[in-house]
Structures are given as structure tokens and as C-alpha cells.
């Protein structure tokens, strides 16, 4: 899973612990099977804890909670994601500057 998807998944779980796998899949733009696979991987790594609402009318209702390790992982992924986006931003700014240099002499002669 890339940093963007990893960040998005951890952020969705953090902000909405009772999100269903179907909703999670829809928000992530992935299949239900992929969402299930990713959640299982996060649980196996100890980043997410699964809580069952036994008294809930829907016995299959779960809450996904970030563990302390999950909170640390989200911070790490956030920093990595932010650095990548900042680099992309700098690249785009340079591209815009090059395009302006290319267009301005032509535009000024009109």
C-alpha cells in the first residue's frame, strides 16, 4: 500500500472508528475485498484493534481503533506523505515558472 492510501485508511479509521468495511471501501475507492485485506494487515501489524459491539442490535458491528503503535504509524506516514506532496508542489511550481518564461515573450510581442 502506498503512503497516500495508507494515510487515507488510517485517517478514515481515526476519524470514524465505527465505519463499515463497505463504507471504507467506497471512501478509499477500492473493492470490499481489498478493504478487508488492508484492515486485516493493519490488525496483524498491531496498528488497529478490532472491537465488537456485542450488545449492538447488529452483532456484526465493529469499531476499528488505532492502537498506540497505529497512532505512531499514522504520524510516520503523515510526515512521509507530506514530504512527498511538498516535493510535488515544488516540482509543479518549477514547471509553472518554466511555462511562464516560455509564454511571456510570445505574449509580450502582441
Query: Mind giving me the DSSP string for 63-109?
Result: EEEE-HHHHHHHHHHHHHHHHHHHHHHHHHHHHHHHHHHHHHHHHHT
Kindly report, residue by residue over 24-79, the tens digit of the pLDDT.
999 999 999 999 998 899 999 999 998 876 555 555 667 898 999 999 999 999 99
- CA dist 49 and 46 (Å) reads 7
The pTM assigned to this predicted structure is 0.70
| CATH class held by domain 3-108 | mainly alpha
Residue 51 DSSP one-character state:
E
Q: Band the pLDDT of 99: cuts 50, 70, 90.
A: very high
pLDDT at 50: 85
Amino acid at each position: 500500500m502506498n503512503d497516500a492510501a495508507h494515510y487515507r485508511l488510517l485517517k478514515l479509521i481515526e476519524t470514524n472508528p465505527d465505519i463499515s468495511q463497505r463504507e471504507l471501501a467506497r471512501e478509499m475507492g477500492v473493492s470490499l475485498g481489498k478493504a478487508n485485506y488492508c484492515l486485516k494487515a493493519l490488525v496483524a501489524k498491531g496498528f488497529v484493534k478490532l472491537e465488537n459491539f456485542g450488545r449492538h442490535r447488529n452483532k456484526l458491528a465493529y469499531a476499528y481503533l488505532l492502537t498506540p503503535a497505529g497512532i505512531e504509524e499514522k504520524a510516520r506516514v503523515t510526515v512521509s506523505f507530506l514530504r512527498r506532496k511538498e516535493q510535488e508542489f515544488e516540482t509543479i511550481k518549477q514547471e509553472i515558472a518554466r511555462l511562464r518564461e516560455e509564454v511571456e515573450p510570445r505574449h509580450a510581442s502582441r
